Structure 1
Amino acid sequence: MAGDFNEVLMGNDKFGGRAVNISRALRFQECIDFCRMIDIGFSGTRFTWLNQRPLTNLIQERIDKVFVNAEWNGLFPKASVQHLERAHSDHCPVLLWLNRSQDVKFPRPFSLLANVADPPGLPEDSRIWNKNIFGNLFHRKKRVLARLGGIQAALSVNPNTVLVDLERDLRAEFNEIAKLEEEFWAMKSRITWLVEGDRNTSFYHTSASVRRRRNRISCMKDSVGNWIQGEREIADYIRKGFSNLFTSGHSYAFRSAWNPPFWNHCLNKAEAETLVRPVSNDDITAGLWSLKAFKAPDPDGLHAGFFQRFWLLVGDSVREEVKGIFASGRIPVYLN
């Protein structure tokens, strides 16, 4: 659903003129929620309409929008909206991309699901284990559904004990895959406030898709106001920005600023002693359990929930590693 809705949803969708009518904006939002539609965002200039008046009377609004429902969002997860340059109208053209090609393909990180049963042994390369032992979740689901359809069709023609048992086993396998799929989308959506045990796969899927679209950078404005498009150009601009941020043109620092004896003490004796005492097992355990289970996994894909669940197996190794880091004052390269 796309077009000129002649109404804004929030205050930052308008510049100049009268303040946004809160009552009308709320009714508009209630209508969108009732229809279960999603605003898929945009790239380019923020406002899609302006009244072409001088600055003192200038009014700009974002009133041209694209809304989709969850089913359409699932069919076109890479869809994006681009606001093009305004030329012959007071509205800017709105371009809907259904599947915009990517210039740069980044490797997808491995992530361990919460409901994976105790594995017979994790190999060093968890990606190989994920592919060979656990398998692709969506391929498994598609394969099981195809087999289940064939078995049920055969049952309707020539029922027998073998088919009945096989159909029961496939249904059990499908339920297991459905539970894994729910946890997969729950982990991606970063939602932790829903009641545990509810079957919200569709909601999690939509939330994860919206989050992925919101985090995608389609274009970026440089320091002089020009729009940069294309993933490779954006990546180069970001890399150059961080390089300039953490690079200094000074070749030395004044020694007068380095005079520790005249600095004010910030810690008392008891506090200072806590910083130099050896780290204990209780400290390590408390630190691990203070982390969210499925937030921000390491580069190897093993989030804190993995160590919490298999603590009886990996606890001794983790404690030894952490104590070694505190004793040496160095973090090994493979951990950093």
Structure 2
Amino acid sequence: MKMKLEHSFYVDPVGIAGGLSLWWNKDIQLKILGYGKHFIDAEISVKGESVWIGTFIYGPPYKDQKSEFWNFMKNLRDDHDTKWLVIGDSNVVSCQDEKLGGLPFNPIDANCYFDFMDSRGLIDMPIAGAAYTWSNQRSNDDAILEKLDRVLCSPNWNIAFPKAVVMLDIAMGSDHAPVIIYLHGVNKKGKKDFKFESKWLLEEDCASTVQGSWKPISQPRISHRFGSKLRRTKFTLVRWSKLKDRVKNLRKTELHRRIEHLQGKQFTGEELSESISCKKELDQMWEDEERYWHQRARIKWLQYGDKNTKFFHATTLQHRRANAISRIKKVTGNGSRILRSWWSISNNNFKVYTKKTRRLIL
């Protein structure tokens, strides 16, 4: 996998249906307490923080199995003082406002879910973003949108993480939108330190850009001249890089915003085609970016390896994207693993991931 996470736990699918998996990194102390085809229950602590329980769920989609599942969840915890978070695809719509299109909302279908919430005193955390987390990817009268993915927490958990926010990302490679939890709120990033990007060495005009900014400067002292040249070269490289990447980055942002705008709407035929086209183009841009670094890492290894050791670091720059990941791929890089939904929990520099695989294309 390309998620830069050291540990994992899997619940195998039955044939090509179902399946759960959980990933976490070394900053997280995680102990699996129990699991089944519809849940993974884990004890979690992070860097000396208080221990809490996370239950990652995939609620059964069939009516005759819902009652059994939610009754099981009701009895999963004996201690009402436990800090408890429940996150995942509930496969439950709790009111008509959480459903658009298809058959009208039936309150009876949600009774077991409400019994579970009431018995544990859980809070349904609001999700910032689109009103619906799942779409059948159809248009006009055939479109159905529902809020199926949920984040529930106990009052104790809510007190332990008062700044926690839940956000919805764009749906890529799935009919579910990713749900991301920021345990300590969304921190604004400070000004970045200047770092020479090894990828610049692969640009034909990089050398001329540096040469043009490293021209003589009228300063009496050598140290002053050297410092002035460094500052001017830094400024020139940053401006050059921004201009070079500007068009591509603007297009990425435009695609992301357009997908986000269309998400959660009842598509017309034209909007459905536009959504598919935008996702395809954005996915291709990500593919090209990843393929670029893999190819250069193999082809230019000897040529650039001795000149700039940060070239080796450049091959891991995709970790930046992992901080806001919106799709998961197999190591083959062909995207053959289809993910119907996944969730993440973020605490500044780490994330916990769990995904539910619905089918595999072999």
State whether TM-score is above 0.5: no
TM-score w.r.t. the length of structure 1 is: 0.30
Name which one, 1 or 2, has greater alpha-carbon Rg. Answer: 1
More strand by share: 2
